Amino acid sequence: MGNLIRKAGDLVNKASDTLISLVAGSCIVAAILVAAIICLPLLPFILIWSHFSNKRFQKEYNLYLQQMNGVCFFFYNNRKSSVAFAREMLAPKLAPAVRRTLVEGKRIVTGDDLSFLSTMLTGVKDRKGFPYLIKVVDGQVLDCSINQQFYNTMAGNKPLEPLLAQINSFYTSTARASND
């Protein structure tokens, strides 16, 4: 009889634990549904705000590109094996007008107008790796990766002149941006 009472008590405990779990789970589901019902009417407003915010940023970015016509950028990253070479050996030999921009991971560290520079960098078409050469021509962004030449020069202890000639050739070329 005592054994039967103990089994009945265990069964009641398991049933109450199961009931508590069901009630807790139901409360969580109900809370999620209530939040969804409250937030759902806000979704169109959020989407409209996002659309106009993106449109405003694009307009500001295009104006920025028009103002930056003819400006050249040298984007390099903080990769341990190359940052010192880029910063100490190559960057000082670039034309003074070239804007040097350091990128750490996905974050631009140096330069003005970081959101515009970030947009410029994410739009790079020639994705072969850092460093990137970028110039603005007629409101369009032209880009070139010098990754292979850069690392060949650095690792092979080769003279900088051929690399600098390639960089200067890109910056001084009169190629016009295509309207993609």
Query: pLDDT by residue for the chain (180 residues), tens digit each?
Result: 667 677 666 766 776 777 787 787 788 888 888 888 887 888 888 888 889 999 999 999 999 999 999 999 999 999 998 999 999 999 999 999 999 999 998 888 877 789 999 999 999 997 899 999 999 999 999 999 999 999 999 999 999 999 999 999 999 986 655 444
Report domain extents, the chain: 2-49, 69-172
Those residues whose C-beta lies under 8 Å from the C-beta of residue 175, and which sit 6 or more positions away, are 137, 142
For the whole model, what pTM was predicted? 0.73
Q: How far apart are CA 116 and CA 60, in angstroms?
A: 9
- Whole-number pLDDT of residue 134: 95
Three-state DSSP class for residue 138? coil
C-alpha 157: how far from its chain's center?
A: 32
Mode of pairing for the β-strands spanning 140-145 and 132-137: antiparallel
Cβ–Cβ < 8 Å for 167, 132:
no
Residue 18 Cα distances to 13, 22, 117, angstroms: 9, 6, 56
- Whole-number pLDDT of residue 23: 81
Cβ–Cβ < 8 Å for 137, 176:
yes
- Whole-number pLDDT of residue 179: 44
- Whole-number pLDDT of residue 13: 72
